[in-house]
Structure 1
Amino acid sequence: MFSLDSILVLFLLFNSARCLSIGENSAARSLTTQTTSPSTSAVSVALGGVTYVNKGIVGFGLIPSNFTDSLGDTLGGIGSGIAFKQATWKSLSNGSYTGTLVVHPDRGYNVISTVDYRSRQHEIDFVFTPYNGTDDLDFESAQTTLQLTYVDTILQFDRGGGNTSGLDALAVRAAENGFPTVAVADPEMPIANETYQHLTIDAEGLIAASDGSYWVSDEYGPYVYHFSANGSLIQTIQPPEAFLPLDSNGDLNFTSVVNPTTGRAGNTGFEGLTLDAENDILYAMLQAATIQDGGDDDDTSLYTRMVAYDIANATVTPPTMVGEWVVPLPVSTSKSKTRKCSEIHFVSENVFFALSRDGNGNGAGTSSSDTTSKYKQADLFSIANATNIAGSKFDDPSNPVAPGGVLDDSVTPATYVSFVNYIDDDQLARFGLHNGGDEDSTLVNEKWESLALAPVNDPANPDDYFLFTASDNDFLTEDGISIGVPYNAGVNVDNQFLVFQVTLPSVSPGTIQQAIGI
């Protein structure tokens, strides 16, 4: 294991910002369990008559587990959502790339209990130098491929300038002034009828819009929040009633501790958020099935739902729901357990990435079984032939689309295929990483939850893109600070980043460029 000092030396390089002081469902089931090998050669998959290629890992970087943000809190959980800040991606003449990543943590260090962690996003500058060689790099050298430099933190506020919070949603605030009923909590007064309570956000998805604003998806609601560039809440999107956590009396109960009677299960809200920038269509996807669709059991949580909203004139006209589809989740053949989806990313018309994973890896535990991941992949799915159920009877929770995990005969799900494998041993070894074994800084992290695409800009490979992905380390460090209070989580888990190179022939010219503002 390398010392923190050696890691920080690498982390400080190129510091240009502030100086750091530190198909059919049966087909989908079989495809999602295959492995992408051999790792030393490109791996191809077909979807909708198009061949997509994974060329493997080309970059790795990290931020140390005990690094603190400008507010004095431990910088962690930042893999929950990432996006390229508009107009920052640049190709350099020496073959490197620079830019700024906007990263969003979830609800803070909550291993013991939820805390009053204020919603925020961070800006991180990077210098990326792709490594395409076949020789294995040592761990220290691998980090030179993606140099990361912390820049700043922006807090996000409730309407009227009130604070946001990561505390469990123990109360409900009624709809008013164009905003829907929302989940709230107050650290001093967790009672539903108080005049003010903090808006609770467990952020899991992030979109950097062309006007400088940001869209953030949330697990508590599940909702999508629209924030201005300075962090002020602009508007809130509430999905159909079938998504909302309702108790047996039909009342909203947003807590993540106890599952509702219908709607999203606890901690499986809108994990996925992405944007079709050309058409201004925002997509959000649940991490797993709703309760009425089998989401109360991993064995029956086989289908999740994705919704789409037209946000072309969002600041003038409220977003309009224009689509809803059923998406199958990959299933382990050995244990028949569903791999929940932690992120989605728009690729081209009807085609998306889906990041699904198990719960093993660095941060999951110290036993061999906990540290050995079985499934971590950025797969592809298409809704080209899927049934659009928006506005149908299935938006009423009394009409499940997949009761007990059995899909309604009238509905065709998205077509799902296996694609980018995060835990290929040979690929990991090229960057000094490993899957399974000792829980150290070179062990691949447990929770990968974000995706971002940028063009390679190679005339010889015009369809090639870099797929950036980051992990949520759950703020795990032995030297942490949570809302001003020191803590020791008993383990150090760095914030890891990986970059893959992929060929995406279906992408229309300019689509990704427009999405990131270049």
Structure 2
Amino acid sequence: MASFNGTPISDVIDSILDVDVLDDILDKVPGGNTINGGGGNDFLFAFTNDTLRGEDGDDVLDAADGNGGNKLFGGEGNDTIFASFNDEVFGENGDDTIFGGLGGNTISGGLGRDTFWIANVDLPANRNTITDFNPIVDTIRVDLAGVTQLSDLTITQDVNDAIISRNGTQIAVIKNTAIANLTATNVVVDVNAGNNPTINVAPAAIAPVTFTVNENLGNGTVVGKVTATDANLAAGDRLKFEITGGNNDLNANDVAPFSIDPVTGEIRVTDSGDLDFERNSSINVKVRVSDAENLFSEAQVTVALNDVAEPTPLAFQLKTFEFENLPKLGTTAKGDDILLGGLSGLFFVGTAENGNLKFVANTDRGPNGEATAQNRPFLLPDFQPEIVSFELNRTTGKIEITKRTGLFRADGVTKLTGLPNLQAGVGGTAYTDEVGVEIQADDSLKILENDPLGADVEAIAVDAKGNYWLVDEYRPAIYQFDVNGKLLDRFIPIGTAAATADPTDNFGTEVLPEVYAQRRNNRGFEAVAIEGDKLYAFIQSAIDNPDSDTDTTSKGSRNLRILEFDISTKVVTAEYLYILDNITGTGTAKTDKIGDAVSLGNGKFAVVERDDRSDDTSNKFIYEIDLKNATNVNDPDNLTDLPDNRTIEQLSPAELIAAKIKPVDKTLIANAAKFGYTGVEKLEGLALIAPNTYALLNDNDFDSNVPVKLGILQFPADSVPLQLTNNNGTITIAGGSSNNPTISFTIKSSSSNQVSELGVFIVDDDEGTIDGSKLGDDDYEEKALSRAKVIFSTINNSPNGFTSDGLERVLSFDVNSKLRFFSIDDRTTSRDLVLKTKSFEKVIFSSVTNFQQLSTASFSIRFNNLVINAEAGTSGLVLGTGLQDDREGEVIDLRSDLATGFDANLFPKVEATFTLNREAAFNNFIGFYKVENVAGDIKKSNGDIVKVDSLEYASAAVTNRLTSIEDLVVGNQRTAEKTGIFDAGSIFAPFIIINSNPTASFSDTNFNNDPTVYFSYLGANRDGIDHIRLLGNNTFGFEDLAGGGDFDYNDIIVSVKLTPIA
């Protein structure tokens, strides 16, 4: 490392070294110096009227001790810039962090995700001016005593600008920004201002520290700042912070609760769902602080959570209604009367003409006592399970039972019972039920005969034909009954009859996977939901797999199966995994079971996850789950990476990731107990009345001392799930709880005879206005496309084995954004030709006739023969796609990113599976190489930076290609699968070598003789034409002919599936 000092005169100091300290503050007199950092990570210091240019690398430009008047240019890389006052700051390219110092500075972040510190500890003497704040990707930071939330600041509109003030003092003016675009997501307040514990790096261990914050803090919120000192730290060197342990993913959604800024030491929330006091009152994180020579110390940081009251009934309204005057079912052998109860399952039928809400519920196997060894006492052995129809009058609060439908065998005469079916082995093992007994008047036990079709039914759904579908815990089984309660069929695990002494016994139709017979006693199917022709049956607690009479696996596993069953073809079509949150509780506090489920449409369901407590501390969670990204574990091809001699039920969440098994996505809707659904232990009925209204019902186990309580839980308008509304062809994203919801776009069908690109742009109102211009105005097309995000391109001649149908892209937007869409046909694209040539004749904008509303949160859009389905959600962007909606964004971005939920510190490696398809005469070669920034610059092994317009760019890219990836080649009209490993924390760009490979000469000083190589960056392509198109998430289409050739982008198609590796 070299160090250079300026003089009192006008110096020009230039460096090309890797890491330099270029200093002009020692003389403390005006020098008018120019200091250029060159390559590497440099530290540049200025005093007065100096010009600093960081150029390439992650540089630090520091004018904080100067007297102002400086010009600070970050250049390429992720730079940190400290202004003084009256300085001009230009972050330029990269994710820069800029400190406003004493104020009066004019600041431009440039390209990238920039952070602007407008006030740090002290109020600036004069306001700073930010000229190019992007509310979608940039962040404004404030660290002031007394400022703990955004509302502590005053934000006002001054014509086109936003003014941020504190107690009447203006801190910053944000140019060309509406105050509606400044939210707690992009204006971040340090909640520990003035009170940040300090960690002192010493030769010994670092002392532990604790931050205390409220639960449920939003993503991106700073919970504390780990600061460190190093007595031996060389001038200009900086410490690095990283998380090396703890930080457990408590809600098992593959996103850790916290990340840490490697430069500042700030710990931020990355998954607010983990910050749940009821689940864990504190979270431990191990933080490592290291110097430039990788000497380090570690500390345990504890984030303690304050218990914050959940939203009051003003936010979530719950009303409860109790069943009264329940009819008598019978009298036990000991003379006790039993009343109707045991309602386990609920389905909303509709609204009666008089406005009453109509429901059906089902009883379970009947009143019973606690088991002794293998014996289960049945208090009414002849009890017939039934379906109870009832109505709720919401005005009077009265519940009226309107019909009771007993369940019969297929003859329509023989009553079903709730008695066990069979005992094939040792108690607690597969195909084995408890033994039914009756307690006599003298307390003796009478052993009861089995009922091979006996039903312990736990949930109910109704299909489009009016048939009842119920699931039970015994086999487990799926029952189909007609409207009169006559059994039509019973579907059970394969091998049931063969497990008995008489294999001719008829227990039902054996179609379910054998492993379901290993259900834990009384923990078989607990929930059922129907969507279209698919029925979904939910296991209550984990299957005991491997099986033992002590249910060891089941009791220790959080992995529950969801079985998908086609009710028309009567076959199992899929299985998915649902991960319980936390099963470490004891006794009645153990939250280890499902209660019920209901379909929300589009592969989404609401699911009850519960314990057995009855007060307001209990867990009666209602989650929204989504099957869309989950792995089908019924497909053996998806289980090839299971560890040897281990089952799905035995794997931890981390092991599931390693096995490439993705559980369903979960989002907490509410804890019903927090809103007053108390006094009951078993929430086992859940029904959807309207998009924001649920019905709840408990199973009282036929105990007349426990009420049968119907609850109506209603969300307010601002808690309604995400909605996409269409107003004259403008789509508005509304509702939900996220400031940055996503829309998933999926190609439903594509039969076009040309290549088309589909894009989306943000408009100012429902009429589609953009900065005062309306559709039809001369400048409208250019304004629209300058705001465009590319969704994807579709091709017209797919290689064998490849289809565009089903390809997906996920994009993120601000809530309340208004969107319009466009397509560009044939060879014109928004990224290169249109905005360069101002040729818009092939641009087609959407209108109201293009859209069809599918649900409140989804729609389809049609352009000629291209049909796209769009659905709103909150799942975040897909790993690798963070830059893919930008121009020249056909890259894989593996940097840490809140939008994707990916933390490169937690997952240093990413495994890639490449699927290749080809339709080309040329034998082309595909590769990937690391780039330093979004502009595509390459850093050579000697530290030199090669820019995209350099003649040696192709040579540098091919030389630096990732050899950790198999050669990406495939025969014509063939499909191939390859694998590789990416290092996390960087951007990787693809290239295509035309009819050649990397062994060709790329080192000749006459770079014009190199084989032809095309890139995502137009400046690197010899013909200036786009040769790579985005066809879906991490899916790239390549065109191998010069000048764009036939512009079909099907010569090679590469689809990349990414899996983080811890």
Give the TM-score band, short-chain normalised.
Answer: 0.5 to 0.7
Task: Answer yes or no: is the 8 Å Cα contact 1:183–1:199 preserved in 2.
Answer: no
User: Would you say 1:296 and 2:552 are equivalent positions?
Assistant: yes
Alignment match of 1:152 (pick from 399, 403, 410): 403
Alignment match of 1:123 (pick from 389, 407, 424): 389
User: What are the Cα deviations for residues 323-374 of structure 1, in whole angstroms up to 9, with x where unaligned?
Assistant: 210110121566695431111111122221110111112xxxxxxxxx5642
Alignment match of 1:505 (pick from 700, 714, 722): 722
Alignment match of 1:389 (pick from 621, 625, 633): 633
Structure 1 residue 184 displacement after superposition: 11
Q: How far, CA to CA, are the matches of 1:170 and 1:322 in structure 2?
A: 27
Alignment match of 1:358 (pick from 611, 630, 635): 611
Q: How far, CA to CA, are the matches of 1:328 and 1:169 in structure 2?
A: 30
Q: How far, CA to CA, are the matches of 1:288 and 1:228 in structure 2?
A: 29
User: Would you say 1:63 and 2:323 are equivalent positions?
Assistant: yes
Alignment of 1:67-466 (within 5 A): 67-68=327-328, 74-78=339-343, 80-85=344-349, 88-90=350-352, 97-112=355-370, 113-114=377-378, 115-129=381-395, 144=396, 146-160=397-411, 161-170=413-422, 197=451, 199-239=453-493, 263-276=518-531, 279-292=532-545, 296=552, 300-311=556-567, 313=568, 318-331=569-582, 337-361=590-614, 373-392=617-636, 400-403=647-650, 407-408=655-656, 409-424=659-674, 427-428=675-676, 435=678, 444-455=679-690, 464-466=691-693
Q: How far, CA to CA, are the matches of 1:215 and 1:208 in structure 2?
A: 6
Q: How far, CA to CA, are the matches of 2:486 and 2:340 in structure 1?
A: 21
Q: How far, CA to CA, are the matches of 2:494 and 2:559 in structure 1?
A: 17
**In 2 relative to 1, CA 399–201 (structure 1 residues): closer, same or farther, beyond 3 Å?**
farther
Q: How far, CA to CA, are the matches of 2:497 and 2:646 in structure 1?
A: 15
Q: How far, CA to CA, are the matches of 1:403 and 1:168 in structure 2?
A: 28
SS at match of 2:545: helix
**In 2 relative to 1, CA 246–261 (structure 1 residues): closer, same or farther, beyond 3 Å?**
farther
* Range moving further from structure 2, 221-230 or 106-115: 106-115
Q: How far, CA to CA, are the matches of 2:524 and 2:635 in structure 1?
A: 20
5+ unaligned residues in a row in structure 1: which ranges?
1-22, 43-54, 130-143, 173-180, 255-259, 362-370, 436-443, 456-463, 478-491, 512-518
Q: Which residue of 1 aligns with 2:123?
A: none
Q: Which residue of 2 aligns with 1:7?
A: none
Task: Answer yes or no: is the 8 Å Cα contact 1:65–1:475 preserved in 2.
Answer: no
Q: How far, CA to CA, are the matches of 2:484 and 2:308 in structure 1?
A: 42
SS at match of 1:117: coil
Q: How far, CA to CA, are the matches of 1:378 and 1:212 in structure 2?
A: 27
Structure 1 residue 296 displacement after superposition: 3.1
Structure 1 residue 376 displacement after superposition: 1.0
- Amino acid in the other structure paired with 1:39: P
**In 2 relative to 1, CA 338–247 (structure 1 residues): closer, same or farther, beyond 3 Å?**
farther
SS at match of 2:274: helix
Q: Which residue of 1 aligns with 2:786?
A: none
**In 2 relative to 1, CA 70–404 (structure 1 residues): closer, same or farther, beyond 3 Å?**
same
Structure 1 residue 417 displacement after superposition: 2.5
SS at match of 1:274: strand
Q: Which residue of 2 aligns with 1:141?
A: none
Task: Answer yes or no: is the 8 Å Cα contact 1:292–1:404 preserved in 2.
Answer: no
User: Would you say 1:39 and 2:303 are equivalent positions?
Assistant: no
Q: How far, CA to CA, are the matches of 1:341 and 1:475 in structure 2?
A: 20
Alignment match of 1:472 (pick from 653, 678, 699): 699
Task: Answer yes or no: is the 8 Å Cα contact 1:226–1:234 preserved in 2.
Answer: yes
Task: Answer yes or no: is the 8 Å Cα contact 2:563–2:572 preserved in 1.
Answer: yes
Larger radius of gyration: 2
**In 2 relative to 1, CA 154–473 (structure 1 residues): closer, same or farther, beyond 3 Å?**
same
TM-score when normalising by structure 2: 0.32
Structure 1 residue 111 displacement after superposition: 2.1
User: What are the Cα deviations for residues 239-272 of structure 1, in whole angstroms up to 9, with x where unaligned?
Assistant: 567xx899899x99x9xxxxx9972111111101
Q: How far, CA to CA, are the matches of 2:695 and 2:706 in structure 1?
A: 19
- Amino acid in the other structure paired with 2:521: G
Structure 1 residue 70 displacement after superposition: 11
Q: How far, CA to CA, are the matches of 2:603 and 2:699 in structure 1?
A: 28
User: What are the Cα deviations for residues 264-294 of structure 1, in whole angstroms up to 9, with x where unaligned?
Assistant: 1111111010011xx3211001001110169
**In 2 relative to 1, CA 152–290 (structure 1 residues): closer, same or farther, beyond 3 Å?**
same
User: What are the Cα deviations for residues 206-250 of structure 1, in whole angstroms up to 9, with x where unaligned?
Assistant: 012222210010000111100011111101223567xx899899x
Structure 1 residue 306 displacement after superposition: 0.2
User: What are the Cα deviations for residues 153-182 of structure 1, in whole angstroms up to 9, with x where unaligned?
Assistant: 11111223432111233357xxxxxxxx99
Structure 1 residue 468 displacement after superposition: 0.3
**In 2 relative to 1, CA 359–298 (structure 1 residues): closer, same or farther, beyond 3 Å?**
farther
- Amino acid in the other structure paired with 2:581: P
Q: How far, CA to CA, are the matches of 1:304 and 1:373 in structure 2?
A: 24
Task: Answer yes or no: is the 8 Å Cα contact 2:595–2:685 preserved in 1.
Answer: yes
SS at match of 1:159: coil
5+ unaligned residues in a row in structure 2: which ranges?
1-251, 257-270, 280-306, 332-336, 371-376, 425-430, 438-445, 508-514, 725-853, 858-1062
SS at match of 1:423: helix
Q: How far, CA to CA, are the matches of 2:275 and 2:709 in structure 1?
A: 28
SS at match of 1:165: coil
Q: Which residue of 1 aligns with 2:709?
A: 496
Structure 1 residue 449 displacement after superposition: 0.4
Q: How far, CA to CA, are the matches of 2:723 and 2:572 in structure 1?
A: 25
**In 2 relative to 1, CA 125–337 (structure 1 residues): closer, same or farther, beyond 3 Å?**
closer
SS at match of 1:164: coil
**In 2 relative to 1, CA 224–210 (structure 1 residues): closer, same or farther, beyond 3 Å?**
same
Q: How far, CA to CA, are the matches of 1:31 and 1:273 in structure 2?
A: 30
| C-alpha RMSD of the superposition | 4.1
- Amino acid in the other structure paired with 1:268: R
Q: Provide the identity percentage.
A: 22
Q: Which residue of 1 aligns with 2:253?
A: 24
Q: Which residue of 1 aligns with 2:165?
A: none
Structure 1 residue 75 displacement after superposition: 1.1
Task: Answer yes or no: is the 8 Å Cα contact 1:171–1:190 preserved in 2.
Answer: no
Q: How far, CA to CA, are the matches of 1:447 and 1:229 in structure 2?
A: 27
**In 2 relative to 1, CA 305–283 (structure 1 residues): closer, same or farther, beyond 3 Å?**
same
SS at match of 1:199: coil
SS at match of 1:341: strand
SS at match of 1:59: strand
- Amino acid in the other structure paired with 1:24: N
**In 2 relative to 1, CA 165–25 (structure 1 residues): closer, same or farther, beyond 3 Å?**
farther
Structure 1 residue 202 displacement after superposition: 0.5
